[in-house]
Copies of this chain bind each other. A is one copy, B any other.
Amino acid sequence: MLKLSKLTDYAAVIMAQIARDPEQAHTATELAGQVNLPHPTVGKTLKMLARSGLLESRRGSHGGYVLSRSPAEITASDIIAAIEGPIGMTECSHADGECDLLDTCGVADNWQRVSQAVRTLLECVTLAHLAQSSPLKLPVQLPIQSVTLPSSIGAVREH
């Protein structure tokens, strides 16, 4: 399914909620109410977002969370990475994890390119985009740095 985890999903919703009122600090309790999720879960999500630097937290009474950057400077990729770790479609997408099939694999290079393209795509989507509830329709060409095309085998399919 190539699905985001629920927590990541929550994170996006919560971040969007905060982005719509970026001046004030928001408490977990308050956000839980607005977003209709249990308080402990929202709390956990907020902590993860704060730990990876997307939110700044203030403790104590009158505490809460604020965005650490403007909504246009926080990307979907940032949010996903905050909850799920580095984005990559295969085990071998990030340098360190050695895959024991590497020699017989034969598709690793190209999967990595695809991964990179997905990453780039997600870096182009900002929290500002996500938070906007009724978006204008302005199709744009996104700067995907593409998969390589082996001229000998196939052509890009048309759509």
Contact = CB atoms under 8 A, between A and B. Distances in A.
Q: Count copies of this chain in the complex.
A: 2
A89 interface: yes
A113 to B, nearest CB: 8
B72 A12 contact: no
Interface string A121-159: 111111111111111111111111111111111111101
Given A124-B147, A144-B142, A157-B75, A13 B118 contact: no
A85 B157 CA distance: 21
Q: Interface SS of chain A: helix, strand, loop or mixed?
A: loop
- Residues of A in contact with B, size category: 35 or more
A95 interface: no
Contact of A16 (B4, B73, B80, B106): B106
B2 A80 contact: yes
Contact of A13 (B80, B105, B121, B150): B105
Interface in A80-112: 80, 84-91, 101, 103-107, 109-111
A144 B145 contact: no
A46 interface: no
A59 interface: no
B104 A114 contact: no
A13 B106 contact: yes
Interface in A50-75: 71-73, 75
